[in-house]
């Protein structure tokens, strides 16, 4: 298998050819002007085509309030030039719904501090760019991947032969229907707080294997929330209806894993392979769980459109069980596996699916994901995608940690700062998997200098 090393690509034509060799027709454009055209459709007028994706740092205070590290990250995002901050980072709806003990929690106690941070971000952005920033907060329940005090304390929706073992889930971990109804109500109450904090939108997260995403694949569950499509999407409708009723002026966005594959694991030689080839239904996948099938995805998006959702962020899979389709990387996190495919194929798949969705839902504002692997070629692919109408805005994930001001540099016609371009070393994932705060240890001097950097080196060496 050939792995495309982005720093070896010499021209747009060569990159186009590489995409084509992988079976994808992805436009690459040297003229970057499309990235600075406003977005006029959808719920918000956006000044440019950059969005910072939500990225948590495992570094909030233990009571769920933002810490100085969270503040630093969000202020970097706000000052980087992107017109839209999608969700900032995942905020748990309850302490027990956290994916780690230092995840942000939104509740009556934490809301004032979160609101103050939002205000500072908006002030900073307005001072720098003389325009209004658009920002949302992402609401989450970590479901199967909940680790509120360190160890796994899963809340699952169905039993899964492979994933249950990874998180020590038992029959008792399965939520009953009344617990699910209570959680729907909690999401609605938290959306009210999101509006009170002043955010322009709430992201009702449906991705990465967390509770609301797992809901979509609960084919084998009995009762009101399992089985048929109608039942598996009942939770989404309950929450959307509740938010509409409680805060009719709040824009609702959805970050969706538009497709998902089987869980992967490292084979003997370290390369990723499906952990279990038995049939487990995955939302947005073919029956073998190894390819994209958008039939139900479109059905779900039709439902969102009918409910008035006009803001979408497309992502895929889960960082826990198939990271290669979710955040393509040259170097896997310490608990991951070597790429089972060219990471560029993972990027192209996400761009292609996002394009299919944008073409089908032209009135929605659609943010794409998975661009960091493109490194120095990110702007040219982003410009090609926007010009071809395959996404409205380009989501910046890991590269916004290493190089938050990349949109500003591009806007000012500067050459990219090569030393800041994310090289997909995955330290920002490896660190939190080992209980350390997240951050770009290899490229951001702020993290390089911290004591955790030494700990991380040791962990990686011990391997």
Ligand X SMILES: Cc1cc2nc3c(=O)[nH]c(=O)nc-3n(C[C@H](O)[C@H](O)[C@H](O)COP(=O)(O)O)c2cc1C
Binding site for ligand SF4 (CB under 6 A): 398, 401-402, 422-428, 440-443
* Residue 118 contacts which entry, ligand X, ligand SF4, none (Cβ below 5-8 A, type-dependent): none
Q: Using CB under 6 A as the criterion, what x/- string covers residues 431-450 for binding ligand X?
A: -------x------------
Angle between helices 12-21 and 343-360 (to 10 degrees): 90
Q: Both ends of the chain: CA-CA distance in Å? A: 25
> DSSP secondary-structure letter at 416?
P
As measured in angstroms, the least distance from the Cβ of 231 to ligand SF4 is 38
Q: Using CB under 6 A as the criterion, what x/- string covers residues 131-150 for binding ligand X?
A: -------x------------
Q: Is residue 370 within the footprint of ligand X (CB under 6 A)?
A: yes
Taking CB under 6 A as the binding criterion, the range among 1-9, 50-58, 224-232, 386-394 that sits at the site for ligand X is 50-58
Residue from 107, 393, 429, 430 in contact with ligand X (CB under 6 A): 429
Q: Which residue number, 369 or 402, has a Cβ lying nearer to ligand SF4?
A: 402
Question: What stretches of 370-444 show up as alpha helix (H) in DSSP?
Answer: 378-387, 398-402, 406-411, 427-433
Cβ contacts of 88 within 8 Å, gap of 6 or more: 52, 54, 74, 77, 135, 136, 137, 138
How distant is the alpha carbon of residue 327 from its chain centre?
9
Q: Is residue 207 within the footprint of ligand X (CB under 6 A)?
A: yes
Between strands 50-52 and 84-85, the pairing is parallel
Q: Using CB under 6 A as the criterion, what x/- string covers residues 76-95 for binding ligand X?
A: -------------xx-----
Footprint (CB under 6 A) of ligand X, residues 314-343: 315, 327
Return d(Cα 9, Cα 19) in angstroms, integer. 12
As measured in angstroms, the least distance from the Cβ of 333 to ligand SF4 is 9
Taking CB under 6 A as the binding criterion, the range among 5-13, 105-113, 392-400, 404-412 that sits at the site for ligand X is 392-400
In this structure, what token pair is assigned to residue 28? Answer: 């690459």
Residue from 22, 32, 47, 55 in contact with ligand X (CB under 6 A): 55
Q: Is residue 50 within the footprint of ligand X (CB under 6 A)?
A: no
Q: Which residue number, 18 or 213, has a Cβ lying nearer to ligand X?
A: 213
* Residue 53 contacts which entry, ligand X, ligand SF4, none (Cβ below 5-8 A, type-dependent): ligand X
| Residue 392 vs residues 282, 395, 396: alpha-carbon distances, Å | 27, 10, 13
The Cα angle at residue 427 between residues 96 and 70, in degrees rounded to 5? 50
- Match 């085509």 to its residue by tokens: 49
Residue nearest to ligand X according to CB distances in the complex: 397
Q: What is the DSSP string of 203-222?
A: EE-B-TTSHHHHHTT-TT--
As measured in angstroms, the least distance from the Cβ of 106 to ligand X is 13
Contact 262, 282 (CB under 8 A): yes
Listed residue (344, 425, 410) closest to 379, CA to CA: 410
Half-sphere exposure (CA, 13 Å, Cβ side) for 305? 16
* Residue 423 contacts which entry, ligand SF4, ligand X, none (Cβ below 5-8 A, type-dependent): ligand SF4
Residues of this chain that interact with ligand X (CB under 6 A) are 53-56, 89-90, 138, 205, 207-208, 255, 315, 327, 369-373, 396-399, 428-429, 438
């Amino acid at each position: 298998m050939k792995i495309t090393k982005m720093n070896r690509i010499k021209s747009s034509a060569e990159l186009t050819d590489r995409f084509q060799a992988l079976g994808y027709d992805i436009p690459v454009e040297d003229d970057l002007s499309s990235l600075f055209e406003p977005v006029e459709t959808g719920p918000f007028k956006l000044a440019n085509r950059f969005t910072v994706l939500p990225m948590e740092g495992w570094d909030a205070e233990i009571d769920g309030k933002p810490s100085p590290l969270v503040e630093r990250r969000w202020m970097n995002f706000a000052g980087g030039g992107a017109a839209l901050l999608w969700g900032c980072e995942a905020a748990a709806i309850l302490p027990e719904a956290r994916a780690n003990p230092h995840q942000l929690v939104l509740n009556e106690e934490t809301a004032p501090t979160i609101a103050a941070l939002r205000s500072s971000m908006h002030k900073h952005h307005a001072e720098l760019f003389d325009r209004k920033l658009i920002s949302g907060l992402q609401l989450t329940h970590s479901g199967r991947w909940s680790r509120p005090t360190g160890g796994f304390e899963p809340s699952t929706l169905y039993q899964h032969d492979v994933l249950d073992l990874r998180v020590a889930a038992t029959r008792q971990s399965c939520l009953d229907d009344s617990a699910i109804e209570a959680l729907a109500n909690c999401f609605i109450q938290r959306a009210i707080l999101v509006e009170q904090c002043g955010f322009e939108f709430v992201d009702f997260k449906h991705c990465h294997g967390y509770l609301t995403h797992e809901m979509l694949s609960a084919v084998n569950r009995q009762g009101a929330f399992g089985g048929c499509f109608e039942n598996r999407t009942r939770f989404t409708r309950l929450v959307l209806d509740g938010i509409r009723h409680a805060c009719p002026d709040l824009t609702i966005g959805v970050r969706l894993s538009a497709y998902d594959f089987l869980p992967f694991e490292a084979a003997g030689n370290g390369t990723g392979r499906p952990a279990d080839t038995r049939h487990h239904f995955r939302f947005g996948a073919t029956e073998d769980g190894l390819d994209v099938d958008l039939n139900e995805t479109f059905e779900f998006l039709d439902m969102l459109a009918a409910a008035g959702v006009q803001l979408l962020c497309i992502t895929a899979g889960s960082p826990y069980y198939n990271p290669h389709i979710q955040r393509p990387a040259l170097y896997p996190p310490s608990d991951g596996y070597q790429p089972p495919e060219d990471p560029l194929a993972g990027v192209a798949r996400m761009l292609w699916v996002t394009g299919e969705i944008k073409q089908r839902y032209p009135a929605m504002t659609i943010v794409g994901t998975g661009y960091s692997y493109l490194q120095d070629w990110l702007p040219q692919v982003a410009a090609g995608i926007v010009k071809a109408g395959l996404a409205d805005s380009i989501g910046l994930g890991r590269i916004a940690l290493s190089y938050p001001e990349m949109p500003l540099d591009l806007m000012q016609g500067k050459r990219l700062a090569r030393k800041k371009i994310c090289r997909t070393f995955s330290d920002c994932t490896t660190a939190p998997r080992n209980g350390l705060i997240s951050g770009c240890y290899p490229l951001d001097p702020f993290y390089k200098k911290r004591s955790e950097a030494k700990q991380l080196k040791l962990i990686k060496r011990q391997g």
